C-alpha cells in the first residue's frame, strides 16, 4: 500500500487526474458502469481495530459513500450487513467481496427502503445474521433534480421522502430495541440541508429533515448511552450524480466550486463514519460532521 488515509498529502492536489465526462444512467445506477470509477478506498483504507467486534447495518452500501464506509468498517473489525436495491446486486457483490477479504462476516439484504416491511425485515436479518447490532448507518438516498417545482411529480416527491426520511425512520425504529448502550446511529444528510440548490427542492428538504431528526433523537437517546450523529457530504463523485442527480452540463465541473477545488471521493467520507461509529467519539452526539471540501456550514 503506497498511500493510505494517513499519508501526508496536499488535499487540493489529491485526485488531480479526476476528469469526469457527461454520462447518464437510469436510477439507481450501477457504479460498475460509472467512469471514472469512484475511489472507495479499496486500495488505500488501512484499519487499526477501531470497530473490533462491532456489528453494523449500512443502507445504500453497494456503492458510493455507503460502500466506502462498509469497506472501512470491515477493515476496522466490524461485521457488516449491506442494504441496497435488488437492481444493484452486481455492485453489492463486488463490495461484499472486498468486505469479506477483511475477515469479517458480511450479509447482503436487498430490498426497497420505501417499504416499511422491508426495513423491519432488514433489521431482523442483520440482528439474526450478525448476532446483534450496534451500529446503524442510514445512508441510502434518492436525488433527482427538477428545474421547476411543477416538474416534481407527486410520485417523485413521495419517493424522495420515502427513501430518505421514512426509510431512516423505519430502520431506526426497528433497530432501537436491539441497540445496547454504546451503540451508534449515523445518518447521511448533505450540504444541501444548509445550502439548498434551486433544482433540488424535494431532496434538500429531506436532508434538512434528516438533520433535525438526528439532533432531536440524539437528545432522546444520549441518556440511554446511544449516540446519534450525522455526516453532511459536499459534492462527492458517485453514481447518484449521473442518475439525474445533476444536469449533464454540471457533471464535467462537478465539485470545482468548493474551496478545495474538486469533487470529493467516497473514500474521503469513510473516516468520518468510522469516527462517529467508534467509542473515540464518546462525547459527540447530535453533531453533523461536514465533509464538504471547505464549503461552510453553520
Query: Which residue numbers are catalytic?
Result: 203
For residues 63 and 265, which CB has a smaller minimum distance to Mg ion in the complex? 63
Distance (Å, rounded) from C-alpha 135 to C-alpha 90?
Answer: 25
Kindly state the cell numbers that stand for 42.
Answer: 479499496
Least gap, CB of 106 to ligand NAD (angstroms)? 15
Distance between alpha carbon 141 and the CA centroid of its chain, in Å?
8
Least gap, CB of 284 to ligand NAD (angstroms)? 20
Least gap, CB of 183 to Mg ion (angstroms)? 26
Site residues (vs ligand NAD, CB under 6 A): 28-29, 60, 62-66, 84-85, 88, 112-114, 139-143, 163, 188, 190, 233, 235-236, 238-241
The item of ligand NAD, Mg ion, none sharing an interface with residue 288, based on CB under 5 to 8 Å by kind, is: none
- Contact between 88 and Mg ion per CB under 5 A: yes
Give first-to-last CA distance, the chain, whole Å: 37
Collapsed DSSP state (helix, strand, coil) of residue 188: strand
- Contact between 63 and Mg ion per CB under 5 A: yes
CA dihedral (7, 8, 13, 15) in degrees, to 10, reads 10
For residues 62 and 268, which CB has a smaller minimum distance to ligand NAD in the complex? 62
The item of Mg ion, ligand NAD, none sharing an interface with residue 188, based on CB under 5 to 8 Å by kind, is: ligand NAD
For residues 62 and 76, which CB has a smaller minimum distance to Mg ion in the complex? 62
The item of Mg ion, ligand NAD, none sharing an interface with residue 139, based on CB under 5 to 8 Å by kind, is: ligand NAD
The item of ligand NAD, Mg ion, none sharing an interface with residue 143, based on CB under 5 to 8 Å by kind, is: ligand NAD
Least gap, CB of 167 to ligand NAD (angstroms)? 6
How many helices (H) does the chain have, and how many strands (E)?
Answer: 7, 7
The item of Mg ion, ligand NAD, none sharing an interface with residue 217, based on CB under 5 to 8 Å by kind, is: none
For residues 103 and 155, which CB has a smaller minimum distance to ligand NAD in the complex? 155
Question: ∠26-30-32 over CA atoms, to 5°?
Answer: 140
DSSP label at 264?
B
Look at the block and give the residue holding cell 452500501. Answer: 61
- The helix (run of H) or strand (run of E) holding residue 186 is strand 184-188
Cβ atoms of 58 and 71 closer than 8 Å: no
- Contact between 62 and Mg ion per CB under 5 A: yes
The item of ligand NAD, Mg ion, none sharing an interface with residue 240, based on CB under 5 to 8 Å by kind, is: ligand NAD
Secondary structure (DSSP) of 30-88: -GGG-SSPP--STTT----STTTT-EEEEETTTSHHHHHHHHHHHHTT-EEEEEE-GGG
For residues 79 and 88, which CB has a smaller minimum distance to Mg ion in the complex? 88
Secondary structure (DSSP) of 80-136: EEEEE-GGGHHHHHHHHHHHHTTTS-EEEEE--TT-HHHHHHHHHHHHHHHTS--EE
Piece of 56-64, 122-130, 194-202, 209-217 that binds Mg ion (CB under 5 A): 56-64
Least gap, CB of 143 to ligand NAD (angstroms)? 5
Least gap, CB of 54 to ligand NAD (angstroms)? 21
For residues 139 and 184, which CB has a smaller minimum distance to ligand NAD in the complex? 139
Binding site for Mg ion (CB under 5 A): 62-63, 88
Amino acid at each position: 500500500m503506497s498511500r493510505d488515509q494517513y499519508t501526508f498529502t496536499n488535499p487540493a492536489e489529491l485526485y488531480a487526474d479526476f476528469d469526469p465526462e457527461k454520462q447518464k444512467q437510469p436510477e439507481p445506477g450501477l457504479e460498475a458502469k460509472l467512469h471514472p470509477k469512484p475511489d472507495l478506498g479499496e486500495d488505500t483504507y488501512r484499519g487499526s481495530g477501531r470497530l473490533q467486534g462491532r456489528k453494523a447495518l449500512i443502507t445504500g452500501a453497494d456503492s458510493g459513500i455507503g460502500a466506502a464506509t462498509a469497506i472501512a468498517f470491515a477493515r476496522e473489525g466490524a461485521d457488516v450487513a449491506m442494504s441496497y436495491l435488488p437492481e444493484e446486486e452486481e455492485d453489492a457483490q463486488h463490495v461484499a467481496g472486498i468486505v469479506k477479504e477483511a475477515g469479517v462476516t458480511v450479509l447482503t439484504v436487498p430490498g426497497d427502503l420505501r417499504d416499511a416491511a422491508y426495513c423491519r425485515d432488514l433489521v431482523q436479518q442483520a440482528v439474526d445474521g450478525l448476532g446483534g447490532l450496534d451500529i446503524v448507518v442510514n445512508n441510502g438516498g434518492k436525488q433527482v433534480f427538477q428545474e421547476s417545482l411543477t416538474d416534481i411529480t407527486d410520485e417523485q416527491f413521495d419517493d424522495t421522502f420515502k427513501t430518505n426520511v421514512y426509510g431512516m425512520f423505519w430502520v431506526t425504529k426497528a433497530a432501537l430495541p436491539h441497540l445496547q448502550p454504546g451503540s451508534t446511529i449515523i445518518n447521511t444528510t448533505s450540504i444541501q440541508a444548509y445550502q439548498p440548490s434551486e433544482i433540488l427542492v424535494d431532496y434538500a428538504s429531506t436532508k434538512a429533515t434528516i438533520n433535525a431528526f438526528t439532533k432531536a433523537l440524539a437528545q432522546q437517546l444520549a441518556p440511554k448511552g446511544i449516540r446519534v450523529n450525522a455526516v453532511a457530504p459536499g459534492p462527492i463523485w458517485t453514481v447518484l450524480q449521473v442518475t439525474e442527480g445533476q444536469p449533464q452540463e454540471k457533471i464535467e465541473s462537478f465539485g470545482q466550486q468548493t474551496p478545495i477545488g474538486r469533487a470529493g471521493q467516497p473514500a474521503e467520507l469513510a473516516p468520518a463514519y468510522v469516527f462517529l461509529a467508534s467509542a473515540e467519539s464518546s462525547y459527540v452526539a447530535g453533531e453533523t460532521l461536514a465533509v464538504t471540501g471547505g464549503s461552510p456550514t453553520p
